Amino acid sequence: MKNNKIQTQLSNKTLSIVCVVANEKDSLKKFVNEVLEKCNIFKSVKLFLIFDDVDKDGTKHLAKMMSKKDKRVIFLECKRSKNVVETLLFGYSNALKSKADFILDINAGYRHLPSDLEKFFLAISPNYDCFFGGRFISGGSMSAPSIKRKIYSMGGTYLANFLLGTDLTDMTSGFQLYRRKVIKDLLSIKFFSKYHFINTEIKFYCKNFNILEIPISYETPASSVKFYVLLDSLFCLCRVFCKRFSKKN
């Protein structure tokens, strides 16, 4: 860590990491080792590897073996999960139970790079509650196999900001760090989305917290977004837009 003052500050803090995993057998061990190495400045670290029924290549078995060898790695299975959002929230709930000061949400498979973690940790200060990864902020980047994928993410950000009254450069990224109180608040919310729109919903509900965007590099293996995922995003965006003006919000 470059900043000794920040390192000293975080040495008294605890961190829990939520990582939803599926079909990452070839890269999981290397990824976990790199993440834990970057996080060793904290007093203690717990890395929750969260699985549902999607995994088909034996990653689940590998994760179990890793958890037996390293007490920082915790294998969890969300057996009754109906979708990725339920799996993610299951991870958040367990991370909250760990009573960590900070909770990190990161994707496996190197879509989110462990090398970017230092940027998050250097940015931690009492002034901010949420640290959201941004691909379109200065210093950020998005590597995609097609221009359509970038248009989807950038267009989704513009539309979400316009309809939801938010003001972030990236409303669809899922690489984020929270203070404990934020996760506690999020778990009290009934989310609409079943897929990737959850990241936009989270950012909307965090609008009353102090937010800082962190430049990240994002690697996406997909050239397009599945039609049912796009429909879910549009449908949920309309529902959150309506909720924006409801008395309950």
Q: What 8-state DSSP symbol labels residue 116?
A: G
| Segment 136-195, tens digit of pLDDT | 999 998 886 667 777 888 889 999 999 999 999 999 998 999 999 999 999 999 999 998
Contact indicator for 209, 105 with CB cutoff of 8 Å = no
- Give the model confidence (pLDDT) of 65-101 as tens digits: 999 999 999 999 988 888 899 999 999 999 999 999 9
Residue 117 has pLDDT above 80, yes or no: yes
SS3 145: coil
Q: Which long-range contacts (CB under 8 A, 24 or more apart) does 205-208 make?
A: 206/129, 206/130, 206/182, 207/165, 207/166
The per-residue pLDDT for 145 is 60
**pLDDT of 1 over the 70 cut:** no
With b meaning 16 or more CB within 10 Å and e meaning fewer, what string describes 189-203?
eebbbbbbbbbbbbb
- Under DSSP, the state recorded for 54 is -
Query: What pLDDT shows up at residue 152?
Result: 83
Map residue 79 onto helix, strand or coil: coil
C-alpha distance across the termini of the chain, in Å: 40
pTM here is: 0.92
- What pLDDT is recorded for position 139? 92
Could you read off the pLDDT of 210-230 as tens digits, one per residue?
A: 999 999 998 776 556 778 888
pLDDT at residue number 138: 92
Position 79 scores a pLDDT of 82
**Are 45 and 15 spatial neighbours (Cβ–Cβ below 8 Å)?**
yes
Task: Answer whether 214's CB lies under 8 Å from 119's CB.
Answer: yes
CA atoms of 191 and 204, how far apart (whole Å): 11
Predicted pLDDT at 222: 59
Region at 58 (left for phi over 0; alpha for psi -120 to 50; beta for the rest): left
Given this model, what pLDDT does residue 7 score? 64
Q: What average pLDDT is seen over the chain?
A: 90
| Cα atoms found within 13 Å of the Cα of residue 70, Cβ hemisphere only | 18
